[in-house]
Amino acid sequence: MTELQEVQITEEKPLLRAPGGPDPGKKHQVETPYGIVTITIHGTPKPKRPAIFTYHDVGQNHHSCFDTLFHFEDMQEIIKNFVVIHVDAPGMEEGAPAFPLGYQYPSLDQLADMIPCILQYVNFTSIIGIGVGAGAYVLARYSLSHPNTVEGLVLINIDPNAKGWMDWAAHKLTGLTSSISEMIMGHLFSTEELSKNTEMVQQQRDILSHATNLPNIQLYWSSYNSRRDLSLERGGDISFKCPVMLVVGDQAPHEDAVVECNSKLDPTQTSFLKMADSGGQPQLTQPGKLTEAFKYFVQGMGYIPHVLDKKLSQGGLVLHDAPVPLTHRLSVQCRLGGREPVPLAHPVPEQRGRGAPASGPHHGGVLLSARPGDETASHL
């Protein structure tokens, strides 16, 4: 009989991450017709559920734009129910080398056209998009051309308009007196934040001043400033076919643009959040309130309905009913101060899916801090 010997097996990497530790995610490089794009995937696929798909703004990558939000404690309840796919625009990933001189950076339309290649690579058929600034525009453009693959959109600081001649002239004049870094800082933060020179502003300025890929950032910035008009029209042919949540900070650089965007969208499936004390980057300065709003937004699409059983976080959220049939309406009204929400009169199923029935184009969406035809929003 052969003698058994004890063999010690060691793992190069732990099978499980330390409790409470951040999920480092898995990085992949996806080849597209317009170049290679880096994505980071967190979590494992859930049956019949879309992926949460993020796209960052100019001067940022997915870490600097979304880590604060996705590492927020209450956000863990959401992301455990979905795969999260973070996209770094070409040349924006950490440690990216500068593109060679003369490199033709993709337009924002072409960045949107990369997304089908990403979804094919990860084998997902639908997403819930979260975009900021330029990233919000990219996801909006993709949603207009591929409406059947987008179940919901959270668009922070979106400007759907192309630059007019006056804007173009002002931009050129500013470029003569300001550096690229300072122009991007003015895009990311409010005038008040820049004058106060908060810690967040200092960190972002330091990132830009020491960025080895600053030429790449300048190319992304140029593409953003050369964007086409989305040509959105309320009641027109060009509009989003999914629930949309628009988010902007009070007195943020893009406040007027987001308000105008809200006026062009279907009020029965559009949520508008104007967040007080959040500056130009609400996902960084008010992650708690944004997480809370996102929970209700996802629940309105028929996912994770148990979130309504949780108490609201401090600094409450006001929700207003959308004018849709009662059987498909998310009837929730929350008081300020973190009190219990009113229970649903007609709960929605946990998993709606792409083929589930829905009444009208709203698909069970919930309207937050906005009323039909009202282009203003209550402050959170």
- Chain-centroid distance of CA 2 in Å reads 61
Residues 224-235 have pLDDT tens digits of 999 999 999 998
Q: For the ranges 176-185, 271-280, 284-293, 352-361, which has the lowest average pLDDT?
A: 352-361
pLDDT at residue 314 is higher than 70:
no
Question: Residue 46's pLDDT is what?
Answer: 82
pLDDT at 25: 82
Q: d(Cα 285, Cα 279) in Å, to the nearest integer?
A: 7
Alpha carbon distance 331, 300 (integer Å): 10
Q: State the DSSP string of 287-306.
A: HHHHHHHHHHHHHHTTS-GG
Whole-number Å distance between alpha carbons of 53 and 139: 9
**pLDDT one-digit tens code per residue, 237-278:** 899 999 999 999 988 999 999 999 999 999 999 999 999 888
pLDDT for 76-106, tens place per residue? 988 888 999 999 999 999 999 999 999 999 9
In this prediction, residues 290-296 reach a mean pLDDT of 95
Provide the mean pLDDT of the chain.
78
Instruction: Of 25-34, 42-51, 275-284, 367-376, give the lowest mean pLDDT range.
Output: 367-376
Q: What is the DSSP string of 3-19?
A: PP-------SS-SSPPT
pLDDT tens-digit series, residues 134-147: 999 999 999 999 99
Percent of the chain with pLDDT over 90: 60
For residue 20, pLDDT over 60 is answered with: no
Q: Quick one: what percent of the chain has pLDDT higher than 70?
A: 70
Sign of CA pseudo-dihedral 15, 86, 240, 264 = positive
